[in-house]
Amino acid sequence: MTKSTDTTYDLVVFGATSFVGQILTQYLFASYGVSGEVKWAVAGRSESRLNTLKSRLGAGAGDLPVILADATDDQSLKTLCEQTRVVISTVGPYALYGEPLVKACVETGTDYCDLTGEVQWIRRMLERYEDQAKASGARIVHCCGFDSIPSDMGVWFLQQQAEKTFGEPCQDVRMRVKVAKGGLSGGTVASMINIAKEAAADPKLRKELANPFSISPPEHRSKVRQPSLKGAQFDKTFNVWLAPFVMAAINTRVIHRSNALQDARYGMEFTYDEAMMTGTGAKGRLTAYGITAALAGFLTASAIKPTRWLVEKFVPQPGEGPSPEDQKAGFYDLRFVGRTRDGKTMITKVTGDADPGYGSTSKMLGEAGMCLAFDVPADQPGGFWTPASLLNGKLLERLTSKAGLTFEVVETR
């Protein structure tokens, strides 16, 4: 089946009553209204919950269309896809619930984006559906939340500036989380626990998760060893201590796939890693070791059945997350250091004006969906893309004008 242009909606939010889905729906309603130039709808399996969501949005939301579809009902998903040009999915963990919708989008040639950070699931989707997506024209874009738009678009922006300033891209880029304030939702925790559970049961998967080119095309492999921070380390560029960044496991893979899909624009020997700044002196060092130990403990406990129940008991449950006030009070500041082959250096930063995982993620995901619906040329080939490789400059414009992100050059030397 080929892509249809005769659809009722520009985009549909599937899983609109989920924690992130509700925030996303609020954002789209506030930004684009209902029955205007953007024709969109909400979808899920419970009509009563969808109507409750609409009642909370405010005046005018009564006209927002509702589509009933279930993540386990293939026919309802296909019917949903046939009505829209783009589907935004917030139904996770995606490794447990996401495949039927991807399959339906690929079969009907419908564009799709989500906010997954589950690299093992993305790998499975590539293996099962990439060829079919290319044939049907469906453009599939995973990782359109905090993982991995700030990192992916941050590297894209830095390389664009490096090419203008130095006449060449940076061969090595390091991202450092200077600060990030925000809460954790039950959906994110559930995804992390599921990844640890799958990896514990499958030695082959553990090896795959350690591969920085896990979701890159087979022919795209760097011969240079990729950096990967495993413990506390001192960073001479910023004179601070570093700790592992939990999102690095997915972000690094997405950046390498972006490089591959742009015909190795960053270079075949491009290297990239991510870490968190924890401060200076003894306090910064102690914090770095503490974060390293806590992260290792969480992953270990999640992987072992006798302790997994304890982790699940004391962490947020699916559907739970930071309050609206906490979302608005959140923010983040990411720094990117790029170096060319001959040592020229550029430092850039990306900031967000809300809680990274939810307040900011909902805006990024919404604008990624809008970008797919309105900015990507109709003749752009189908397949599994990344935010930077498909949406690039158009998405950057939307992120800065609507989603509260900034991209700027801090220093060049």
H-type helices in 14-67, by residue range?
19-32, 47-57
233-235/84-89 β-pairing: unpaired
CATH number for the region 9-145+360-401 comes to 3.40.50.720
More confident residue, 329 or 177: 177
Closest CA to 152 of 261, 230, 226: 261
| Residues 382-403: tens digit of each pLDDT | 999 999 999 999 999 999 999 9
Q: Evaluate if residue 64 carries a pLDDT over 90.
A: yes
94 vs 319, which has greater pLDDT?
94
Lowest mean pLDDT among 49-58, 155-164, 310-319: 310-319
* Whether pLDDT at 32 is above 90: yes
The pLDDT tens digits for 333-369 are 999 999 999 999 999 999 999 999 889 999 999 999 9
Q: What is the domain partition of the chain in residue ranges?
A: 9-145+360-401, 149-356+404-412
The C-alpha atoms of residue 94 and residue 87 are separated, in whole angstroms, by 15
Task: For residue 316, give the nearest of 20, 15, 99 by alpha carbon.
Answer: 20
pLDDT digits (tens, 9 = 90+) for 140-151: 999 999 989 999
C-beta separation of 301 from 145 below 8 A: no
Distances (CA, A) of 303 to 70, 310, 407: 29, 12, 37
| Whole-prediction pTM | 0.93
Which amino acid, residue 154?
Answer: G
pLDDT above 90 covers a percentage of the chain that reads 76
Output the pLDDT for position 317: 59
pLDDT at residue 34 tops 90:
yes
Mean pLDDT of the chain: 91
